[in-house]
């Protein structure tokens, strides 16, 4: 590459998103290649390469060590499963166990990129069903017989959910309706639409979770990137099929869906700094509006390598949000509480952070000594929500019933 280590700088790496990436997801994707070289991406930020993902593991272990040192930060980093072959899960599990990439402060989210059209063009898969088989068959096998994939069995104990990722602004040439082939018959060269991907991921995940629950194993939530760009039906699909979503900035254009998200208190993990570089300026981000209305929103980092400038990426999100939107300490603590609630950490971890009654509604579920959210804020949120539900269903209730 003709680069001397002495001359190497952060600017030369060119991995930070800038104004040239705004509404240009294609240019943003090139930022994953340090110095514009995809080879460096393969070497340093991939789990499956000629060195067995050694360098990526070392970088991740530094990040996890910083989390443990901070004591008050937990994370759910994303690792990729592509669906090109059935041994991807075993390779990922072997990488994690071989390099001891584990921390009590982290759980893994597995992201599945929507790249069927690319695999199809390279003859890696023949049908969409083959992609689904590659993703889910190993999970059913290890659930049925843990000894069939012993490393995967151990790795999955640290996995909290499944994510669906890609550029939502891509034009969708195929519509999902009665005429759309089922996965075994889907042989088109075009990529299936967003709702097609999510529906069949949801169907498989629901069956898998029922099986794992019956076997006494941990289950996985579906938490896709949703509503960052693209058509409004992405949000409709996410609302119907997901446990929570990431981004959701397009909800600002759909009041009816906003109302449904409020009624069900469905989680929305938002990343304003990421959105600022890709789809919407920081000042126009709807997060403060969502928070004021009582939607279940939280602050989250997204691609810290591309969007943040310090190793305290989450602190950047909170500090900038507090300054720009003049959030109170009560607002900040409510966002943090929502973040814990939305996460996929085990009950015992959430009890440690939020208190033993955190699942209860209203003031009963709030331990102010742990959450630092005043009871009056929690009471207001709960009463407003109950009143809205009662108005909607025309239920008469006494004042004490809203407590």
- Pairing label, strands 78-80, 225-226: unpaired
Exposed, middle or buried, 373 (CB in 10 Å: 0-12/13-18/19+)? buried
Give 268's strand partners.
245, 297
Q: What is the CA radius of gyration of the chain?
A: 22
247 catalytically annotated? yes
Which of 149, 234, 247, 382 is catalytic? The answer is 247
Count of C-beta atoms within a 10 Å radius of residue 399: 7
Catalytic positions are 247
């Amino acid at each position: 590459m003709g680069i001397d280590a002495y001359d190497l700088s952060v600017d030369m790496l060119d991995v930070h998103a800038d104004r040239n990436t705004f509404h240009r997801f294609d240019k943003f994707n090139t930022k994953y290649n340090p110095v514009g070289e995809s080879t460096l991406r393969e070497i340093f930020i991939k789990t499956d390469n000629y060195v067995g993902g050694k360098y990526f593991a070392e970088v991740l272990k530094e990040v996890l060590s910083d989390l443990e040192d901070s004591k008050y930060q937990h994370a759910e980093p994303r690792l990729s499963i592509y669906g090109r072959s059935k041994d991807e899960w075993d390779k990922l599990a072997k990488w994690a166990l071989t390099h001891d990439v584990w921390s009590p402060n982290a759980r893994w989210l597995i992201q599945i990129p929507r790249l069927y059209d690319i695999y199809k063009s390279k003859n890696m898969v023949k049908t969409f069903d083959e992609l689904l088989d590659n993703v889910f068959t190993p999970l059913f096998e290890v659930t049925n017989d843990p000894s069939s994939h012993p490393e995967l069995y151990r790795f999955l104990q640290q996995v909290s959910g499944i994510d669906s990722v890609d550029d939502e602004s891509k034009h969708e040439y195929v519509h999902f309706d009665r005429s759309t082939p089922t996965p075994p018959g889907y042989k088109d060269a075009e990529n299936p639409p967003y709702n097609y991907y999510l529906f069949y991921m949801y169907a498989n995940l629901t069956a898998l979770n029922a099986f794992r629950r019956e076997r006494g194993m941990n289950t996985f939530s579906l938490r896709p990137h949703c509503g960052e760009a693209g058509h409004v039906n992405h949000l409709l699909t996410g609302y119907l099929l997901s446990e929570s979503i990431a981004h959701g900035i397009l909800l600002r254009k759909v009041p009816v869906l906003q109302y449904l998200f409020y009624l069900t208190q469905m989680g929305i993990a938002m990343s304003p700094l990421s959105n600022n570089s890709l789809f919407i300026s920081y000042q126009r981000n709807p997060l403060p509006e969502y928070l004021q209305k009582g939607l279940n929103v939280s602050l989250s980092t997204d691609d810290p390598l591309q969007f943040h400038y310090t190793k305290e990426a989450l602190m950047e999100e909170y500090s900038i949000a507090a300054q720009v939107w003049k959030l109170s300490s009560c607002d900040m603590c409510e966002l943090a509480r929502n973040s814990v609630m939305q996460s996929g950490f085990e009950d015992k971890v959430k009890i440690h952070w939020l208190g033993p009654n955190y699942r209860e509604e209203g003031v009963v579920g709030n331990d102010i000594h742990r959450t630092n959210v005043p009871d009056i804020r929690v009471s207001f949120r709960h009463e407003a929500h109950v009143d809205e539900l009662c108005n909607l269903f025309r239920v008469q209730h006494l004042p004490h019933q809203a407590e």
